[in-house]
Amino acid sequence: MMKHNAKDSTKRANVPGLDVNATTFENYVIRNVVSLSENFQDQEIVNTGRHCLEDWLEIYSHSYCGLIFQMEMMKISTEDRCVLANIIRPYNNLTLCLEDLSNGFSCYYPNPTIQELFLTIHSKFFINCTTEKIPFEDAPQGLVIALTLIPVSIIPVLVYLVVFKSKV
């Protein structure tokens, strides 16, 4: 949970063993997420010898990033959670937070721990967002006939033009 600190009027994470100013953390994430390139694919080459602290990653990904996301989602009604425009910012913040935590705990991103958190979040907040599959309808018969006959009727004309030009 976040609590409002009267002294410095900033939000702080209320997680045992974690005293992080949310604004400072957001600024840290913004400063350190330099590139959105596909460098993540070269992680094993770039980061040889890294030892992932997966237990810590799991604890803090749920208790910090997940908690912040949960608080942001509670501000959005359940009906509005299925509208991408309403959830894109909290979802992006969650992604950036998890990526930063993964890097901080020397883990690759994405990883199985983070994927499990995303599955949990999706099953909790977006379970009712399934879209109804609209069955494909057949095109009107007149349109199908027209679109079939036009190219077929052009072929003899093209053959005639080729034969006529080759005789000359």
Query: DSSP letter string over the chain?
Result: -EEEETTTTEEEE-BTTB--BHHHHHHHHHHH----SSGGGGHHHHTTT----HHHHHHHIIIIIIHHHHHHHHTS-TTGGGSHHHHHHHHHHHHHHHHHHHHHTT--SS-HHHHHHHHHHHHHHSTT-PPPPPPPPPPPHHHHHHHHHHHHHHHHHHHHHHHHHHH-
**Rounded to whole angstroms, how far apart are CA atoms 137 and 134?**
9
pLDDT of residue 128: 82
Q: Which of 9, 118, 19, 137 is nearest to 66 (CA)?
A: 118
Q: What is the CA radius of gyration of the chain?
A: 28
Q: What is the pLDDT of residue 49?
A: 55
Nearest to 69 by CA among 19, 117, 18: 117
Q: What is the pTM of this model?
A: 0.52
Domain boundaries, the chain: 2-125, 137-168
Residue by residue, pLDDT tens for the chain (168 residues) are: 344 444 444 444 444 444 444 455 455 444 444 444 445 555 555 555 568 888 899 998 999 999 999 999 999 998 888 888 999 999 999 999 999 999 988 888 888 999 999 999 999 988 888 766 777 888 899 999 999 999 999 999 999 999 988 876
| 58 Cβ contact partners less than 8 Å away, ≥ 6 residues apart | 113
Q: Domain 2-125 carries which CATH code?
A: 1.10.150.510
